[in-house]
Amino acid sequence: MLFKFCGDRDCPDWLLAEIGSLSKISSVKVKLLCVQVVNGILNSQIGFDKVAKLTADSKFTTDDVKGVLMALEFILKNSTKFAVDEESLVNELTQLGLPREHAVSVSKVYADRWPDILAVLKEQSLRLSSLDGAPQWRLDYVLESSTAGEVCQPSVQMKLGVKQGDAVTPVH
């Protein structure tokens, strides 16, 4: 089956396995974990002590907790990337076996924070350098040189300002 939040592709097997782990946690804790994951996406810092408190009673191993966090990050980032609406996300997550209350919790956090996630994803996407200002150029036709003798070839010199982030680097 194809899912919108997976880019109209089949759901990865690892995500299916983690949905089983997510189902063992209450929907309120899933929502709070989603908030921590969104904070990690936006600030590059997840509150691991809060995550540990949320998952303490579920007897998860460290690997289980990491898997659950990665599953939520995958769902939130891909839903944003592929512009999935809230209702479709709920339906697709329930089709994958996540209880409806859990799916609603995830989709509510997604619906509230998708513009912020989108801004971060755009900022992190591949960017090519841009030119700063108009290029400066000069064309010389060298007839003869004291070192090379007769040349009779054109010579072009260009100066470009390449902008990467806030820095402008001259390139000759």
Structure-model confidence comparison of residues 133 and 32, the more confident one: 32
Report residue 69 as tokens: 């966090």
CA-closest candidate to residue 26, choices 87, 80, 106: 106
Backbone CA torsion sign across 87, 92, 95, 97: negative
CA-closest candidate to residue 89, choices 65, 112, 64: 112
pTM over 0.95: no
pLDDT at 14 over 90: yes
Structure-model confidence comparison of residues 49 and 17, the more confident one: 17
Domain ranges in the chain are 2-124, 130-171
Per residue in 74-122, pLDDT (tens digit) is 999 999 999 999 999 999 999 999 999 999 999 999 999 999 999 999 8
Calculated CA dihedral for residues 161, 163, 166, 170, nearest 10 degrees: -30
